[in-house]
Amino acid sequence: MVIQTIQELENSIRKCINNPRKQYILLQNHATWNQLCSSLDIIGDTDYALSSYIKDSGPSDIGMNYIYIYGFLQALILQQDAIRYCANALGIVDELGRKYKGNPTLEMVRQIRNRSSGHPMNCDRDAEGGSYNFISQISMSKWGFTLHSSRPEKRTTVEEIDLQRLLKEQTEITTEALIIILDKLTEEDMKHKKAFEGENLIDNIPPTLGYYFEKMYAATYETNPGQKTSAMHLGKVHFDSVMAVVEKIKIELTKRGLYPAYSSLKNIFDEISYPLAELEKYFSSNSGAVNDKTANIFIFFIQQQINEELMVMLKELDEKYKVQGE
């Protein structure tokens, strides 16, 4: 099994949520979407920060040592919070909770940060009062320090803080949490694809579609008044068949959550909606209908959009469903 880095897992999760179908669902609640994007940004940013901390040679003076320690511990807490908010936005808190929420190691990291740099004065208050904490200046290094803590009526405690160990343990837990999130998203997508197993979108386009268009074209070419009414009637029958195909495809795409999620699909249906409406009037002989030449152009445009755009996309989507559903 290949062990993925936090950056790799974050990118994989982004790929899942940026899938047009999933993204469309998430964007129905912009607050949730923003929470998710912010969380993923923080997960990635803190990983960059902590990775640089590892490679850096360390602080050059006492003041910078404090900045290093404060920043290091804050990055760990930001990372913890970002994981929780990411899971919350995706609605998978329960799945993550068993591994993450209340984890003793993460709680220890949080307590060390609170006592040393977050809220060192009057920390962890109870009925008897809070604790007062400070870092022993002489003990500070890039990877650790001594933390002194005292509470009312109790002896002062001294604790050696190993930052390298904290980072190693939290990184392992964070990686596991991201794997849980990614697995859940992948499982959800697989379940969706499984529901449409064996149902190809392209099958909704009948082999007789070209014949339907031929009969529609024929009505526009007919100039004999005695034959025009019959040709228009036949054209209307086949126009209705084309309309039924278009509506059927739209219904199937909607069932899969692909329309209007895929902007390219939405664009195709938007672009043919006006020509279809005009042809409806033309074949119904309504007043104000377009002339034969304009109707011919509209028929050609719709046929091209279906043959060269829509059918190509349907085949591509069918292929994706096969690959992801296996």
Of 2, 1, 6, nearest to 173 by C-alpha is 6
- Residue 37, pLDDT > 90, answer yes
For the chain, domain boundaries: 6-121+160-194, 201-325
How many CA within 13 A on the CB side of residue 139? Answer: 14
- Here the tokens at position 199 are 């149902």
pLDDT at site 326: 42
H helix runs in 27-139, sequence order: 30-55, 62-90, 93-97, 104-113
Q: Where are the beta strands (DSSP E) in 104-143?
A: 123-126, 129-135
In tens, the pLDDT along 71-89 reads 999 999 999 999 999 999 9
Mean pLDDT of 308-312: 98
Q: Are 167 and 159 in contact (CB under 8 A)?
A: no
Residue environment code for 62-91, b if the CB has 16+ CB neighbours within 10 A, otherwise e = eeebbebbeebbebbbebbebbbbbbebbe
pLDDT at site 57: 94
Exposed / middle / buried, residue 213 (Cβ in 10 Å: 0-12, 13-18, 19+)? buried
Percent of the chain surpassing pLDDT 70: 97
pLDDT at site 95: 79
- Residue 1, pLDDT > 60, answer no
pLDDT band of 325, cuts 50, 70, 90: very low
- Helix, strand or coil, per DSSP, at residue 1: coil
In tens, the pLDDT along 100-135 reads 878 999 999 999 999 999 999 988 877 678 899 999
Of 281, 285, 314, nearest to 298 by C-alpha is 281
- Residue 3, pLDDT > 50, answer yes
Of 56, 105, 116, nearest to 79 by C-alpha is 105
Lowest-pLDDT range, 207-211, 271-275, 282-286? 282-286
- Residue 324, pLDDT > 50, answer no
- Helix, strand or coil, per DSSP, at residue 141: strand
In tens, the pLDDT along 205-239 reads 999 999 999 999 999 999 999 999 999 999 999 99
Cis peptide before 20 (omega within 30 of 0): no
Q: Are 89 and 36 in contact (CB under 8 A)?
A: yes
pLDDT band of 289, cuts 50, 70, 90: confident
- Quote the mean pLDDT of the chain: 94
